[in-house]
Amino acid sequence: MSRTAQAPAAERARLRRLVAGLLVLLGCVLLGVTVGAAGASAAPRSAPADVPVTVRVGVPSSVPAVVPVRTMTVTAVVRRESTAALALPAAPAPPVTPTDPATPGGPGTVTIGINGVDGTPNSSIVVLLGITLLSVAPSLLLMMTSFTKIFVVLALTRNAMGLQGVPPNQVIAGLSLFLSLFIMGPVLSQVNDTGLQPYLHGSVTFSQAVETGQQPLRTFMLKQTRQEDLALMTRSANLPNPKDEAAVPMTTLIPAFMLSELRSAFIIGFVIFVPFLVIDLVVSSALMSMGMMMLPPVMVSLPFKILLFVLVDGWGLIVTALVGSYR
């Protein structure tokens, strides 16, 4: 074959080698990009290492050496993950054996601090006292105030008039309550000033507040209690006679005060019953004289009782007498 005929074949072989080299170069580049993206998606623990890959493109030995031979070297960078990034996690630590609780040094006791940090009462103690006061408030209202006598007097007044349900018990209890607050106002103010407020400000202890706060109540109850009732309760408890009023214990003073209040209430009730009893007697005699024995006298006397009570301003007289008995 002549040299002129071999020239186009050599050119075509040269083109094939160039295309093959370009394809190999493109494949190496794509391989490096794929490996680098996979390494970037994971969280590496150490810097990755770059691994150079060299691809040498040469001329096959079968091709004649008429055409100048050129060798192409392609270097692609393949990113390899460090072996440290693929390391397995560390083994878990062995469990710790629990220890027994420490034994207290002294005997087992529970201590509750009544006073707070700055001397004021602890908030828990204040809440406890408030709940206790709410639970015993009805008993304190009945035993240590004027509520008992006022309620009994108003109830006897209703019975004396012959009214069984008017005014109702709720009205009588409400009126008695507000009259008791009116009468006990100065006493409660003294209890608040001498006992409660100093304790809330932290100037006195709880025992001192109780001791000073009960003095106004003791003075009020001793003033309204008869000596005979005090002697009765003292003998019933087998206690020695107190030297003076300050030596009378509260456990003796409170029941004696209640007995005195009931006695005064029944005396006032008797005085209220007398005029209404006179009206009943007059009406009954009139009905008997007219032969109307089948007509209930209460039905006839009730309007006259109500009229008499309204004309003499009965509620005003009763309230004035009750309030004046504590002055």
Question: Alpha-carbon dihedral of residues 155, 157, 159, 160, nearest 10 degrees?
Answer: 160
Taking residues 224-229, what's their average pLDDT?
Answer: 91
In this prediction, residue 74 carries a pLDDT of: 43
Residue 167 has pLDDT above 70, yes or no: yes
Spatial distance between the Cα atoms of 171 and 173, rounded to a whole number of angstroms: 5
For 90-104, 145-159, 195-209, which range has the lowest pLDDT when averaged over its residues?
Answer: 90-104
pLDDT, tens digit (0-9, with 9 covering 90-100), for 2-30 = 455 556 777 777 888 887 777 777 777 67
Residue 52 forms beta bridges with which residues? 77
Within 13 Å, how many C-alpha atoms sit on residue 126's CB side?
A: 12
Among 244, 248, 214, 246, which Cα is nearest to 230's? 248
- Please state, in angstroms and as integers, the Cα–Cα distance from residue 170 to each residue in 150, 176, 179, following that order: 14, 10, 14
Rounded to the nearest integer, the mean pLDDT of the chain is 77
In this prediction, residue 48 carries a pLDDT of: 46
pLDDT, tens digit (0-9, with 9 covering 90-100), for 45-94 = 444 444 454 444 444 444 444 444 444 444 444 444 444 445 567 778 88
Spatial distance between the Cα atoms of 283 and 301, rounded to a whole number of angstroms: 6
Within 13 Å, how many C-alpha atoms sit on residue 131's CB side?
A: 5
Cis peptide before 167 (omega within 30 of 0): yes
For 20-24, 197-201, 269-273, which range has the lowest pLDDT when averaged over its residues?
Answer: 20-24
Spatial distance between the Cα atoms of 74 and 54, rounded to a whole number of angstroms: 6
- Residue found under tokens 């006032």: 268
Angle at 182 between CA 244 and CA 206, to 5 degrees: 55
Question: b/e string for 248-278 if b means 16 or more Cβ within 10 A?
Answer: beeebbbbbbbbbbeebbeebbeebbeebee
Spatial distance between the Cα atoms of 138 and 134, rounded to a whole number of angstroms: 8
Spatial distance between the Cα atoms of 326 and 146, rounded to a whole number of angstroms: 9
Residue with the larger pLDDT of the pair 162 and 70: 162
Report the percentage of the chain scoring pLDDT > 70. 74
DSSP H helices in 62-205: 123-143, 147-160, 169-191, 197-200
Q: Helix-strand-coil percent breakdown of the chain, rounded to 5? A: 60, 5, 30
Q: Return the structure tokens found at 243.
A: 């030297």
Residue 50 forms beta bridges with which residues? 79
94 three-state secondary structure: coil
pTM of the model: 0.60
Ramachandran bin of 313, using left for φ above 0, alpha for ψ from -120 to 50, beta for the remaining angles: left
Residue 75 forms beta bridges with which residues? 54
For 29-38, 145-154, 249-258, which range has the lowest pLDDT when averaged over its residues?
Answer: 29-38
